[in-house]
Structures are given as structure tokens and as C-alpha cells.
Amino acid sequence: MRVHIATDHAGMELSAHLVEHLKAKGYEVIDHGPAEYDAADDYPGFCLKAAEAVASEQAEGQDSLGIVLGGSGNGEQIAANKVQGIRAALAWNLDTARLAREHNNANVVGLGGRQHSLEEATAIVDAFLEGQWSNEERHSRRIGKITHYENTGEILD
């Protein structure tokens, strides 16, 4: 599986740790930056590039997921969700990471680098990446309605 990762300055330590951790587990990791610390950086570009890569690869049938990091993960997750085809979920514990994959078929996880220890954040990312989409009808139906709105602007009941 290929994993795309992006961060801002507040998530750089966690990002570097996760890149090494995930490579050691056999994932192909693509780091979308930033390359160096800048407290005044702007995360949207990094996160949008990672999300675009996930969306593009999934559209081609590749096994690809994404991780976006920041101080809280909120802005990064919001940015990723602006990319068509992305379902980015902010995870703050193991259950929210697993459910994001199982119920929402999330393809990007957002995480706050200032909200967790390295060990806790690593476990959350592992839970997300190892999670499997349940493909249950009720969840598929709901995601279908979200996708329909994303593509047409029409709200289905």
C-alpha cells in the first residue's frame, strides 16, 4: 500500500516518526512536505497535494491512503476534504480511526501532532491503515449520498 503524508510545522516531528515507522512496516510512503521547519508555513498546499495523490491513485485502482497532520489536525483534515473523492476523518483515538475506515470508508486520516504522544499517534495511524471498509449497505448508501452531492450539488433524502 502507498501512503501519502503531509503536515505543517506543528506535525513535523510526528510526520518524520511516522514516515520511518510506516516504511519499516513495508508501506511505500510519499512525503508531501514540508521539507524543513517554518513556523509560518501554510499547510493547505501540502495537504491538498497529498489528498490529490490519494484521489488520483484510488481512481486508477491503486491501494492508496493518506495522512494529514497539524497541531490539531482540524485545518489539515478540512483542506483534504476539499479534494473531490476524498473522505478525510479527524481521528483522536483508536475507535474513531477504525470507524473512519469501517463505516465511512475514509481514505485520509487527520491527526493532531500536539494532541498525542508519538506512541498514541502511531497506534491511531496503524488502526486507520489496518482498518477495513465494511461495505455494509447502510454505510454504502450514506457514502453514495455524500458522493452524489459532491458531484452534483443535489441533496438526496
Active site residues: 76, 103
Place of cell 484510488: 58
**DSSP-assigned letters across all residues of 30-76:** EE---SS--TT--HHHHHHHHHHHHHHHHHTT--EEEEEEESSSHHH
The helix (H) or strand (E) run that includes residue 135 is none
Give the phi and the psi of residue 63 in degrees, each rounded to 5.
Answer: -85, 105
Place of cell 508531501: 32
Residue 8: which of 140, 113, 87, 133 has the closest Cα?
A: 113
Query: Are 112 and 72 a contacting pair, CB within 8 Å?
Result: yes
